[in-house]
Structure 1
Amino acid sequence: MRQPIRLLVVSVRFLLVAASGILASLPAFSESLEHCFVGNYHLEDRSDVDISPSVDGTLRWRKFDGTTGALHPQANGTWTSTRGWTKAADGMVVSFAGCDGNAIRFGGIAGTRTDFDVHEITFESHGTRLVGRLVLPRGEAKVPIVVLVHGSEHDSALTSYSLQRMLPAQGIGAFVYDKRGTGKSGGTYTQDYSLLAYDAVAAATTTRSFAGARLGSIGFQGGSQAGWVVPLAASRTAVDFAIVGFGLAVNAIDEDQQSVELQLSEKGYSRGEIRDALKVARAAEKVIASGFSNGFAELDRLRSRYSGARWYKDLRGDYTYLILPRSEAELRIMAPEFDWHTPWNYDPMPVLRSSRTPQLWILGGEDYDAPSRETRKRLQSLIAEGRDYTVAYYKNAEHGITLFEVDATGERISTRYAPGYFQLIRDFALHGTVSGQYGDAELTRPLRHD
């Protein structure tokens, strides 16, 4: 089983599964534990560890070097850790000083929770009340501030986004908000990129107003679906930088096509077999893009033709696999719960070509949910044309820029974030550029930096 919740990550595929009820079955995190222990702690070895709420009564720790694990409560009041999103114990024991304290002992190293200047803020966008939080390092100095933009997740960013603390611990402010239809915000959940971009612009405007004299520079950061939203938002308001993780420079139909191709090619199927699989996927994509209103005859014809093919059992894509086993009647019933106004054929390239905002894109070579090959190629072509883009490519990273193991059943299990991932975000927010080495990331920088 791959990791259930990632930092700022929920792909279209994961989002569709969630809407089918899987996420709804996860128990809510204990409010008391969240209140007591969530925070960013500075340790005596001069590193920081962030503690965030998770599922099934657990906590999640993250360090800036990319290591992470789940914390499980024990009867003696301590917490034991399992590595990444695996079930393997990593030997880490953690204890807290109780609900009235700010102390932690993390793997034998003492630490203290870091205090930030925190402002809870309500603002409006297109008639919808949104709830946000501005988190700043303590002091009076000007700081860059990152507006954290959602992926496609349904959960509350105010609760789940650990960057709202990890960045301030590095001297960078963060504005986090629950997008419409999630958490404490009003409105209806949507995947309308344009509307979400206007919400992000409203968040940036609110940030400028509340940060006042402390605002140095300002920019957007987001992952996955935010790869479509962030550049749109940056085209509508003046910002100093934009950071996209595991996003796409193609549309959502191409996303599924490329996912099918990557998955089947890695399983060793021939080019001819993959071409046939892509035909089936294209028929499924047409059904979902139509709002489950047409395309069923072609889908049925191709399913009947290829259901006996050896590759059919491995045909998944980003969302094709949800369509394949269901009848027309079942799919039509599903239509209302997927009525999210998703612009399936949205072309992001005109916005990317016209951008004058320095942008950092962080991509994973093993990303099944948002395959990066064509996106990387397109971004590199923009760099060759003189655009101000930086691409950091982690060959072995999957969606979320996490590394993984493969278990005996062939399932990926995420183990940690790629080394250098969080440092990339920090340095680009601080300087509008990156320099040096970030783990094994392959960097393509704008021509002006060469």
Structure 2
Amino acid sequence: MNINFFSNLFLWLLLITLPDMVFSQSAVFTIQDVKFESQGVTLAGSILTPKKALAAVVIVHGSDPVKREMEFAKRLAKEGIAVLTYDKRGVGESGGVYVGPSVGTNNIDTTNLNLLSHDASAAVNTFRTYLKDKKTPIGLVGFSQAGWIIPIAASKNPQIEFMVLFSCPTITTLEQLRFQFYTNGNNNFWENHTESDAREHTKNDPDRYQFTTTDPKNYLNTLSIPGLWLFGEKDIQIPVKLCIEQLNTFKVQGKPFEYTLFSTLGHNTASDNITAPFEISIQWVKQKALNIKKSKVSK
């Protein structure tokens, strides 16, 4: 009797002292490791599936050699969004070769951006086979460099039904480099420079590198799916005002593209410590997914 009492007491104490995260994860979503093929290599990732998926997204990487974005994926899954996140090509358990400045290669060359768009598209095709409800809308969520990759993938894969882009450019790759070289990593750049000054350099500075540029507008022109861009006004990686100008042109043309500008933020609009962009994107995804589902039912 006493032994049972103390055993139960110990178990109860253990349960209440363990982190809440352990139980919320197991109760709210499951995690399943997957592998899929893309352009001759095997990519490895994880699928996070909520009990009831309101929407589904594949996470598209920025430029860094990063593995699957598990923490960001868990934030999404807790909100009822199924996620496939994978190790970038040449990183972690994924095959292939990573391309980027850290290894002395050009990761915004057209060839590499197209290759990465194939990876994102293959992830979407794989993800669809795992979703129980085949009418669940699938979109792409990405960061920074994904601003060039996502439009390419979406223009070629009709299964991609919406897109969310954190600090993603809508200008050409060469224009982005001109701006980045001009700001030169100076976090106080906007305290000493005007918008017109930055724009002049972005449009007219001589290019330090010569390669075929990628213009996301060529792909965005072909898309009719909804898109949401989230920008930080203090960004020193991309010229945000110029990117917004491009989006406004698309909006005038009737494209279902939206954006939100955060006056105090820089390039990192998807940080764990910054909740507003994430919360806005979540509500946006849920609403767009609901609209897409309704349109499928009415057809």
Instruction: Give the match's secondary structure for 1:361.
Output: strand
Deviations 1:239-259 (A, max 9, x none): 221111101011222113234
Shift of 1:265: 6.1
Instruction: Give the match's secondary structure for 1:396.
Output: coil
Residues in 1 aligned to 2:281 and 2:249: alpha-carbon distance in whole angstroms: 22
Deviations 1:121-161 (A, max 9, x none): 111011110112111113xx45311111111110212xx43
Shift of 1:196: 0.6
Residues in 2 aligned to 1:211 and 1:249: alpha-carbon distance in whole angstroms: 31
What residue identity is the alignment partner of 1:416?
N
Match of 1:362 in 2: 230
What residue identity is the alignment partner of 1:144?
A
Match of 1:103 in 2: 18
Unpaired segments ≥5 residues, structure 2:
1-12, 100-106, 291-299
Shift of 1:200: 0.5
Does residue 194 of structure 1 match 2:114?
Answer: yes
Does residue 121 of structure 1 match 2:31?
Answer: no
Residues in 1 aligned to 2:278 and 2:43: alpha-carbon distance in whole angstroms: 27
Does residue 245 of structure 1 match 2:166?
Answer: yes
Deviations 1:90-137 (A, max 9, x none): xxxxxxx99x999227xxxx9844212222111101111011211111
Distance of aligned partners of 1:197 and 1:164 in 2 relative to their CA distance in 1, 3 Å threshold: same
Match of 2:288 in 1: 432
Residues in 1 aligned to 2:287 and 2:199: alpha-carbon distance in whole angstroms: 44
Between 216-225 and 257-266, report the one with greater CA deviation: 257-266
Query: Percent of aligned positions with the same letter in both sequences?
Result: 24
Residues in 1 aligned to 2:198 and 2:155: alpha-carbon distance in whole angstroms: 37
Does residue 423 of structure 1 match 2:279?
Answer: yes
Residues in 1 aligned to 2:25 and 2:194: alpha-carbon distance in whole angstroms: 54
TM-score (norm 2): 0.76
Match of 1:382 in 2: 250
Deviations 1:282-314 (A, max 9, x none): 45x42xx24xxxxxxxxxxxxxxxxxxxxxxxx
Deviations 1:260-300 (A, max 9, x none): 55668635369999899x59x945x42xx24xxxxxxxxxx
Q: Is the Cα–Cα contact under 8 Å of residues 147 and 218 in structure 1 kept in the other structure? A: yes
Match of 2:93 in 1: 184
Match of 1:395 in 2: 263
Does residue 173 of structure 1 match 2:111?
Answer: no
Q: Is the Cα–Cα contact under 8 Å of residues 173 and 215 in structure 2 kept in the other structure? A: no
Distance of aligned partners of 1:379 and 1:121 in 2 relative to their CA distance in 1, 3 Å threshold: same
Deviations 1:38-81 (A, max 9, x none): xxxxxxxxxxxxxxxxxxxxxxxxxxxxxxxxxxxxxxxxxxxx
Residues in 2 aligned to 1:183 and 1:359: alpha-carbon distance in whole angstroms: 30
Which runs of 4 or more aligned residues in structure 1 lie more than 4 Å from their structure 2 counterparts after TM superposition? 260-265, 269-276
Match of 1:212 in 2: 132
Q: Is the Cα–Cα contact under 8 Å of residues 66 and 88 in structure 2 kept in the other structure? A: no
Match of 1:47 in 2: none
Residues in 2 aligned to 1:133 and 1:143: alpha-carbon distance in whole angstroms: 18
RMSD: 3.3
Q: Is the Cα–Cα contact under 8 Å of residues 144 and 169 in structure 2 kept in the other structure? A: yes
Residues in 2 aligned to 1:347 and 1:275: alpha-carbon distance in whole angstroms: 17
What residue identity is the alignment partner of 1:426?
I
Instruction: Give the match's secondary structure for 1:424.
Output: helix
More helix by share: 2
Q: Is the Cα–Cα contact under 8 Å of residues 57 and 84 in structure 2 kept in the other structure? A: yes
What residue identity is the alignment partner of 1:253?
L
Residues in 2 aligned to 1:111 and 1:367: alpha-carbon distance in whole angstroms: 36
Distance of aligned partners of 1:117 and 1:380 in 2 relative to their CA distance in 1, 3 Å threshold: same
Q: Is the Cα–Cα contact under 8 Å of residues 199 and 242 in structure 2 kept in the other structure? A: no
Unpaired segments ≥5 residues, structure 1:
1-96, 291-342, 403-413, 435-450
